[in-house]
């Protein structure tokens, strides 16, 4: 089967099921073999810009031709049997409407599988759906069972904890946005309390004063699409805000930067890795700390990596 995957999480799922896609998105970089596949889309946003500039470019693109452009010539040449797209966020990846328009325009004979996960359960369901679509049902079942077992192990460890710190996970810096969808659920599983964002709800902007009032005891800064280096370059958007140094998480050395490009924001198999990394930050007495290339503490004095 010739599969084109237009979002990183789906690419990771397809590879995990033993199928190599013939085409991917411009952001697909895991496993490393994905980088060798032709990209079927392009972004109109400069991913290397500052957090505020990226936000401006996204808003401008949404009012114009959209954030993404599909390479019709490449898609036509690849002639897929299946295209995996998404409906959760038209900023994170090409949405299914644009994909279907491209397929109709090229008169391709292929199916479109759209993912729209808002919880860990939804992600596991998507893995099984992809498994059925690519004739890897048994392998998908085995993968989901192994992931569910790891989630259950985390939950069993944190189920009886008496002290659940207030946790905030930011998936953007300027403007400040709190992470939604599966993240509040993951915070709870990791032994924290997330009273800031509705489980399953979309990530959304927050007034800085609301963040200060919530006063997280654990703060995880994991901007969508930013690795640790790019997060460090943009930290001033947080650290120069009034009251930053007064946050309990900052004062007590429990503010962290986490690689949001590889973890937290990709609803695929590595979301369980993200849960385990998060547990190490929220309940360090019970779990190992994440590797330094995944998460690093922000220094309390200067709030830098």
110 within domain boundaries: yes
pLDDT, averaged across the chain: 90
Q: In angstroms, rounded to a whole number, what is the distance separating the alpha carbons of residues 127 and 114?
A: 12
Structure tokens at 59: 């808003």
Find the CATH number of the domain harbouring 16.
3.40.50.1980
pLDDT > 70? residue 111 = yes
Residues 104, 198 within the same domain: no
181 touches 118 (CB < 8 A): yes
Does residue 260 share a domain with residue 181? Answer: yes
SS3 at position 85: strand
Domain assignment present for residue 144? The answer is no
Strand (E) or helix (H) holding 59: helix 51-63
pLDDT band at 73 (very low <50, low <70, confident <90, very high): very high
Say what the pLDDT of residue 296 is: 95
The verdict on 180 and 238 lying in the same domain is: yes
Q: Is the dihedral of CA 259, 264, 265, 266 positive or negative?
A: positive
Gap between the terminal Cα atoms of the chain: 45
The top-scoring range by mean pLDDT among 76-90, 91-105, 178-192 is 178-192
The predicted model scores a pTM of: 0.90
- Structural domains of the chain, count: 2
pLDDT, tens digit (0-9, with 9 covering 90-100), for 222-261: 999 899 999 999 999 999 999 999 999 999 999 999 999 9
Tokens of 176: 């400040």
pLDDT tens digit sequence for 1-17? 999 999 999 999 999 99
The residue ranking higher by pLDDT, 82 or 196, is 82
Same domain, 285 and 170: yes
pLDDT of residue 99: 85
Domain termination residue (choose one: 116, 138, 173): 116
Q: Tell me: pLDDT of 67 over 80.
A: no
Are both 108 and 174 inside the same structural domain? no
**pLDDT, tens only, 252-301:** 999 999 999 999 999 999 999 999 999 999 999 999 999 999 999 986 44
Torsion of CA 180, 185, 187, 188, to 10 degrees: 140
Q: Find all residues with CB under 8 Å of 266, minimum gap 6, and list them.
A: 8, 9, 12, 274
Strands (E), the chain: 3-5, 41-43, 68-70, 82-86, 111-115, 167-172, 177-178, 204-205, 218-221, 255-258, 295-297
What is the per-residue pLDDT for 53?
A: 84
Tell me: do 111 and 206 sit in the same domain.
no
* Model confidence pLDDT, tens digit, residues 139-164: 999 999 999 999 999 999 999 999 99
129 located within any domain: no
Whether the pLDDT of residue 77 is over 60: the answer is yes
What are 42-60's pLDDT values in tens digits? 776 767 788 888 778 777 7
Is 134 within a domain?
Answer: no
Q: Which domain holds residue 271?
A: 161-297
Whether 15 is in a domain gets the answer: yes
């Amino acid at each position: 089967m010739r599969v084109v995957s237009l979002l990183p999480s789906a690419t990771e799922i397809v590879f995990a099921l033993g199928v190599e896609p013939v085409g991917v998105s411009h952001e697909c970089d895991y496993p490393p073999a994905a980088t060798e596949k032709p990209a079927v889309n392009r972004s109109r946003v400069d991913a290397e810009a500052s957090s505020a500039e990226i936000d401006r470019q996204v808003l401008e693109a949404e009012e114009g031709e959209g954030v993404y452009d599909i390479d019709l010539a490449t898609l036509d040449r690849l002639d897929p049997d299946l295209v995996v797209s998404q409906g959760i966020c038209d900023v994170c990846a090409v949405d299914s409407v644009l994909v279907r328009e491209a397929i109709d325009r090229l008169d391709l004979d292929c199916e479109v599988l759209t993912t729209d996960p808002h919880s860990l359960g939804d992600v596991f369901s998507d893995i099984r759906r992809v498994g059925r679509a690519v004739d890897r049902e048994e392998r998908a079942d085995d993968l989901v069972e192994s992931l569910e077992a790891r989630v259950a192990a985390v939950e069993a460890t944190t189920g009886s904890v008496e002290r659940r710190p207030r946790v905030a996970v930011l998936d953007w810096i300027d403007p400040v946005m709190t992470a939604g969808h599966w993240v509040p659920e993951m915070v709870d599983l990791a032994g924290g309390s997330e009273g800031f964002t509705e489980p399953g709800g979309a990530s959304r902007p927050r007034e800085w004063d609301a963040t200060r009032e919530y006063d997280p005891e654990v703060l995880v800064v994991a901007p969508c699409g930013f690795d640790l280096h790019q997060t460090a370059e943009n930290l001033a958007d947080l650290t120069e805000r009034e009251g930053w140094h007064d946050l309990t998480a900052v004062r007590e050395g429990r503010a962290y930067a986490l690689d949001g490009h590889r973890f937290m924001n990709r609803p695929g198999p590595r979301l369980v890795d993200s849960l385990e990394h998060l547990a190490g930050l929220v309940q360090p007495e019970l779990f190992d700390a994440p590797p330094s290339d995944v998460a690093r503490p922000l220094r309390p004095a200067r709030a830098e990596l």
